[in-house]
A and B are shown apart, each in its own frame.
Chain A
Amino acid sequence: GAVVSQHPSRVICKSGTSVKIECRSLDFQATTMFWYRQFPKQSLMLMATSNEGSKATYEQGVEKDKFLINHASLTLSTLTVTSAHPEDSSFYICSASDAGGYGNTIYFGEGSWLTVV
């Protein structure tokens, strides 16, 4: 299947700082990428959908100014957690789809563990 790479896999940052997570589709062009957050023993919670070259669409309750998403190319999307706080500590996962995002399946990255201290 298609490969989606996410980096870093683990990151620790100080409270108040910003951290960037990258999501790359390695062997296909991802017109749409999705960002999820997952709490322990829970399902995936969609945070936002990003389409290449346009602004991301955020789910209700997700602060767009706190979770900045950029999808500048067909193979890269980034999630920046700004002014991070301990409650932002979580497992963040991206996924990517070709064919416009809604006409095909999605493949997930390996996830990024964020710990804010």
Chain B
Amino acid sequence: GENVEQHPSTLSVQEGDSAVIKCTYSDSASNYFPWYKQELGKGPQLIIDIRSNVGEKKDQRIAVTLNKTAKHFSLHITETQPEDSAVYFCAVRNYGQNFVFGPGTRLSVLP
């Protein structure tokens, strides 16, 4: 089955700096890759996603890049703010299958 790894597991950055989180997956047939942000005690919130026919997608300070050949995709957050502090999960889905989530990355943005 699909195996999803996420790195780093924890990340601390200074406010205003950029943060990058990387996910790798094993199933080359996977075709949809969302990123979720989870704040303490709340459900995950979709922040950005990308499909296999696109290499990059950007939404204001957040971007996702996908390398299908290497089977990895990354979340990029620029100009980080304290409210970006949360746990971020990547997910991978092959059409017709359930989502498989990464183990999560705890991002701390230091003021």
Contacts and interface: CB of A to CB of B under 8 A. Distances in A.
A105 B45 CA distance: 12
Interface residues on B, range: 20 to 34
A106 B44 CA distance: 10
Q: Describe A's contact surface by its main secondary structure.
A: strand
A6 B44 CA distance: 13
A93 B95 contact: no
Contact of A102 (B42, B95, B103): B95
B46 A1 contact: yes
A44 interface: yes
A47 B46 CA distance: 20
Contact of A105 (B49, B98, B104): B49
Interface of A: 1, 4, 6, 34, 42-44, 46, 49, 91, 93, 95, 102-103, 105-111, 113
